[in-house]
Amino acid sequence: MENIDNIGKKSLEALSRDNLNERSKKKLAVEIVCALISLSCLGVGLIYTYIYKGAYTIVPQLLYFLGFLIEGVPVMITAVKGIFSRDLKNAMEILVAIAIIACVFNQDLILALLIPLILNAVHLLEERSIMGGRDVIDGLKKMQQTTAILLADDGTESVIDARELKLGQKIVIKPGSGIAIDGVVVSGESHVDQKSLTGEPQPFFVSKGEQVYAGTVNLDGRIVVEVTKEYVDTSFSKILRLLEESEGITIPETRIIDRFMAYYIPFALAIAAGAALISADVSKAIAILVVSCPCGQMLVSSAPMIASLSVATKRGVLIKNSKFIEELTEIDTVVFDKTGTVTVGELSLVRACPVDGIGERELLEAAASVASASTHPVSRAVIAACEKDGKLKYRTDMSVREISGSGMEGECGELTVRFGNREWLSSLGYKIPAEMGKGEAGSVSFVTRKEQLLGYLCFGDTPRENAAKSIAELKGLGVERTVMLTGDREEAARSVCDSVGIDELHAKLLPQDKLTHMQKLGGEEHRVLAVGDGINDALALREASVGIAMGAMGSDLAIQSADIALMNNNLMNVPFAIKLAKQTRKIIYQNIALSMSISLVMIALSAFGVISALAGSVLHNAGAFAVLINSSRILKSQELNS
């Protein structure tokens, strides 16, 4: 018995691959040991019969009966519980229990032992196939660093359990190390691999003041991070909890199977009874009961859902509930926020408009000479444009004064440069034509040098790189109307809508105004998808048929308020989510047809004696494996993985 127990433990280690919790591992170990004991009873009984050639037949019969008790009784207990609880998930055990009882009454103890033994063995392989789809989630779990290097106030370093870290403590993260906790960089700079959370392949550069997150990897620099969230509250931990919960999502298509199973068991019993009566052969009835086990039907939705979760997680898309299938496949209206959703959320220089006789380069260099001393978004946009050009040279020796709400003024000797709004410069005596800068979609700032007006610069929040492509793909997927709801000015928002192809605009809205518009859009019997940043759009995201929060990494509100959270700001993940939902639903319907068809064919073959009970104990899993193979197409889809 000790050797059998060791074999069971080794088999468990080979099968588990850390995909099971401790309770499941113990249960699996017991099942393997019981199977080995039953197999030993069968083997010893057959050898005994061969050696003694029929003498003392009570001995092998007792061994077979013992093996039957070990393997068959647990199945029968589960079946009885399923009958009294009306749990249709135990349909397989109910049918198998009736089959093995029939074997016992037919005095075929070998078959009564083999049927549950083979069923359990094949189901173990089947379960391992399902677990394979969870590898992405399990891989994420392993990426969470469990230790950290604590930096004490006196500069000493010590390795501690990351679960013991408190808010405000500082930790050292060396090159190549995983980041154990959410925090903010207080010194050093490095590149961080955030692919596990965002799906973005390019490393993210971090320096002082930047946020870093648990589950990511520090690549090439030593950084010191101040803890901002405890271990259990990190974004990574919350995402893992949500992923585990989402594996149990119940989607509408499972109701079809539930209704089907209510009639399936009586149908299988009736066919088995009819075959036995007509043919006067109990073995045919036993075979029908065995092959009718609804393994495939039990996987029609769970297998594709697990595959979908794996594909989505790789792209940094977090699916939270059944709306993924129930509503997302029916979406006909998509509502976008503007700032930080369709646009990058940062001001940039859109256009430089010098007056006659002044060059564009001269205008930019004058503005940059005072903007370099300011951290205002407009000033940063000017400097960013100069750095991007690479050829512009601006002065850095000016004495700069910032006039709050008006602009910047810089002096160097007799040279004075001013950069600000129309009202301020007009009050200083500059003659700015009324038509200059009028009608511009973005904000406008004027530049003067000494007493001369050099021109103006136009600033705006630019659309994301793939915004137009995303909108086009949505329309190709059947979205009839795209709408922007924004608190920004209509001119600026209209420019963005026109550039990316959004059909309808409602501007100058407060959060409660967005909610009112969402209610109107949904009240017209439309399925509405809302896309926002999850902060000021929380009300709209909750009101929509489906809410998608962008850039949700680090934002608890975004994760809580949306049905789907994007860990990055890639707008292409919006049409991706719809395509994934449509393909998942298509696979589910295919699985239903496959599993039902295979079950009916197997029942028919058993009724005509083509398939025996023993063969049926293996072949009845054909439906399950067909469902698994069909569901795996989601993992390999070029359209989804491109």
pLDDT, tens only, 107-117 = 788 888 887 88
Q: One-letter amino acid identity for 626?
A: A
Collect all residues with Cβ–Cβ distance below 8 Å to 406 and sequence separation of at least 6: 420, 421, 423, 424
CA pair distance 594, 633, nearest whole angstrom: 14
DSSP 3-state of 204: strand
* C-beta atoms surrounding 610 within 10 Å: 11
CA pair distance 477, 329, nearest whole angstrom: 10
pLDDT of residue 128: 53
DSSP 3-state of 629: helix
Residue of 458, 477, 502, 462 whose CA lies nearest to 580 = 477
Pairing assessment for the beta strands 147-151 and 157-161 based on DSSP bridges: antiparallel
Q: Which stretches within 403-510 are classed as H helix?
A: 422-427, 467-476, 490-500
Beta-strand runs (E) in 327-414: 333-336, 343-354, 399-403, 407-412
CA pair distance 12, 5, nearest whole angstrom: 11
In the 8-state DSSP scheme, what is residue 340? I
Number of residues in the chain: 642
CA pair distance 36, 6, nearest whole angstrom: 11
pLDDT of residue 11: 35
CA pair distance 163, 147, nearest whole angstrom: 8
Domains, the chain: 2-134+248-303+585-641 (no CATH), 145-231 (2.70.150.10), 317-343+464-582 (3.40.50.1000), 346-463 (3.40.1110.10)
Contact at 8 Å (CB) between 432 and 447? no
What is the 3-state secondary structure of 314-338? Answer: HCCEEECCCHHHHCHHHCCEEEECH
* Model confidence pLDDT, tens digit, residues 244-269: 665 555 555 556 666 676 777 788 88
Positive or negative CA dihedral for 490, 491, 496, 501?
A: positive
Q: 53 burial class (0-12, 13-18, 19+ CB within 10 angstroms)? A: exposed
Q: Residue 502 to residues 119, 460, 477: CA-CA distances in angstroms?
A: 56, 18, 15
pLDDT of residue 6: 46
For tokens 């193979």, name the residue: 629
pLDDT of residue 641: 63
Contact at 8 Å (CB) between 337 and 486? yes
CA pair distance 63, 56, nearest whole angstrom: 12
Q: One-letter amino acid identity for 601?
A: V
Pairing assessment for the beta strands 333-336 and 528-532 based on DSSP bridges: parallel
Bridge partners, residue 484, by sequence = 336, 505
Residue of 504, 508, 530 whose CA lies nearest to 519 = 530
This prediction has a pTM of 0.73
Q: One-letter amino acid identity for 333?
A: T
Collect all residues with Cβ–Cβ distance below 8 Å to 277 and sequence separation of at least 6: none
What is the edge-to-edge ordering of all strands in the sheet holding 190-193? Answer: 204-206, 190-193, 217-218
Dihedral of the alpha carbons of 264, 266, 272, 276, in degrees to the nearest 10: -160
Query: Quick one: tokens of 480?
Result: 């009839």
pLDDT of residue 474: 95
CA pair distance 378, 445, nearest whole angstrom: 9
pLDDT of residue 614: 75
pLDDT of residue 52: 78
Main-chain dihedrals φ then ψ at residue 446, nearest 5 degrees: -100, 155
pLDDT of residue 520: 87
Q: 74 burial class (0-12, 13-18, 19+ CB within 10 angstroms)? A: middle
Positive or negative CA dihedral for 624, 627, 629, 631?
A: negative
For tokens 């079950």, name the residue: 599
CA pair distance 356, 517, nearest whole angstrom: 46
DSSP 3-state of 155: coil
First-residue to last-residue Cα distance in the chain: 53
CA pair distance 122, 118, nearest whole angstrom: 6
pLDDT of residue 123: 61
Q: Residue 116 to residues 100, 618, 619: CA-CA distances in angstroms?
A: 8, 10, 13
CA pair distance 218, 189, nearest whole angstrom: 10
Contact at 8 Å (CB) between 364 and 336? no
Positive or negative CA dihedral for 220, 222, 228, 231?
A: positive
Collect all residues with Cβ–Cβ distance below 8 Å to 606 and sequence separation of at least 6: 275, 284, 287, 288, 290, 291, 616
Contact at 8 Å (CB) between 409 and 400? yes
CA pair distance 299, 301, nearest whole angstrom: 6
Distance of CA 621 to the CA centre of its chain: 30
pLDDT of residue 626: 86
Q: Residue 579 to residues 22, 141, 571, 584: CA-CA distances in angstroms?
A: 37, 27, 14, 8
CA 125-130-132 angle, 5° bins: 95
Q: Which residues of the chain have pLDDT under 70?
A: 1-25, 54-56, 86-92, 119, 122-144, 196, 199-201, 242-259, 261, 296, 523-524, 534-536, 552-559, 638-642
Collect all residues with Cβ–Cβ distance below 8 Å to 515 and sequence separation of at least 6: 539, 540, 543
